[in-house]
Structure 1
Amino acid sequence: MATLEDGVTVDQDHGLENPRRRDYLQYAAVAFAGVGGAVAVLPLINQMNPSADVLALSTTEVDISAIEAGQAIKASFRKQPLFVRHLTQAEIDEANAVQVSSLRDPQTLAERTKEGKAQWLVTLGVCTHLGCVPLGAGEGEAKGDFGGYFCPCHGSHYDTAARIRKGPAPSNLAVPDYQFTSDTVIVVG
């Protein structure tokens, strides 16, 4: 066996040795280390996924078939109160008659409800001032000066479209993502 000037060895019986043999060994070692590293990191990444109990709370199904016009119910969504209100035609007309530019947080009723389902208003029951639960969804509760919701903590008044009309709350009651899965069932979340 002889060595040439550039470091390549020559086997006099078989010719030149493969100069890239060490490169293949390096590629194999790096690939093996990469796969090993991915297998080690996978459980660490997987533990950051939400747990099963959190995923179970990610949506709430509400049956609205028993809610008569003019009534509201309280449900729970992600451990927060959820208000579902069946608006009467008079309440819809009253909400639509309000000059939107006069509102602190300008939104029309159409922006707060689903198209073709303007009689159903779904909001989170958390006052946007300091997080108290407003009254008005339960039977006989105070509905405030505008017939919607009243927050007893600091006196915020919401109208029938759950828009802030009076008091310290900076914005309307939040409308969560929801969809109608049938005429009588909504899924929130």
Structure 2
Amino acid sequence: MAHSDTTAEPTRRDFLLLTAGAFGAVGVASVAWPFIDQMNPDASTRALASIEVDISALQSGQSITVLWRGKPVVVRNRTDKEIEEGKAVKLEELKDPIARNANVDPSADATDANRSAKDKENILVMVKVCTHLGCIPLDESGEFGGWFCPCHGSQYDTAGRIRKGPAPENLPVPVYAFTSDTKIRIG
């Protein structure tokens, strides 16, 4: 009788090979898990996934900086003059014509309206980190009266749009929503 004509029953060797393979896979997974798990965000970062900011004391021309996800976020109550200056800028004059606002269409133009809060154009919310090398710009500085990064000379206007210097993009606007007239939820 030929070997191919018989049906082979599992042997003890087959069982041992299968068991050893299963233990090996469990061992590899248990060694790999700490490396994979350490790539998750820190618990303190996850806790700050969204924050609520009270802007009731924020007067026209003032700004506050809050920490969100480990980054400084500026909330500015712009003056009428700053809003008018922002609206007067032509898109052709901008280095970055994209709004960089997570609350509008990703391809939206960097008009003043697309950078500020809808129906509350005096309120501006932005991540205050220079898009060149991650420095923190100074408030109300530079040629355009917005933000100035002294490290490499990037200058942003009153709507947070890059106007001069090596920074390639406008300051990003995070996801935010007004929960009331005086409170903003960021994130």
Is this a same-fold pair by TM over 0.5? yes
Structure 2 Cα separation of the partners of residues 179 and 167 of structure 1: 28
Structure 2 residue 56 is the aligned partner of structure 1 residue 65: yes
Deviation digits for residues 113-147 of structure 1 (CA, Å, limit 9, x no counterpart)? 221011111111100111100001xxxxx511101
Alignment-derived partner of residue 98 in structure 1: 89
Shift of 1:48: 6.6
Flag the structure with more relative contact order, 1 or 2, with Cα contacts below 8 A and sequence separation at least 6.
2
Preserved CA contact (<8 Å) 2:179 2:185: no
Give 1:187 shift. Answer: 1.1
Secondary structure class of the residue paired with 1:147 = coil
Residues of 1 paired with 2:67 and 2:137: CA distance? 14
- Give aligned pairs, total: 171
Correspondence for 1:19: none
Q: CA deviation at 1:60?
A: 1.9
| Cα distance in 2, alignment partners of residues 164 and 130 from structure 1 | 14
Conserved? CA contact 1:163–1:172, under 8 Å:
yes
Q: 2:123 aligns with which of 116, 120, 124?
A: 120
Compute the RMSD of aligned alpha carbons.
Answer: 3.5
Question: SS of 2:185's equivalent?
Answer: strand
- Please, which of 47, 50, 62 is the counterpart of residue 56 of structure 1? 47
Q: Is the 8 A contact 1:125 1:173 kept in 2?
A: yes
CA pair 48-114 structure 1, distance change in 2 beyond 3 A? farther
When residues 114 and 48 of structure 1 are mapped into structure 2, their CA distance, relative to the original with a 3 A threshold, is: farther
Structure 2 runs not aligned, ≥5 long: 1-28, 98-109
- 1:137-163 deviations in Å (ceiling 9; x for gaps): xxxxx5111010010101111110011
Give the TM-score of the pair, scaled to structure 1: 0.69
**Structure-2 separation of matches of 1:144 and 1:181:** 30
Larger Rg: 1
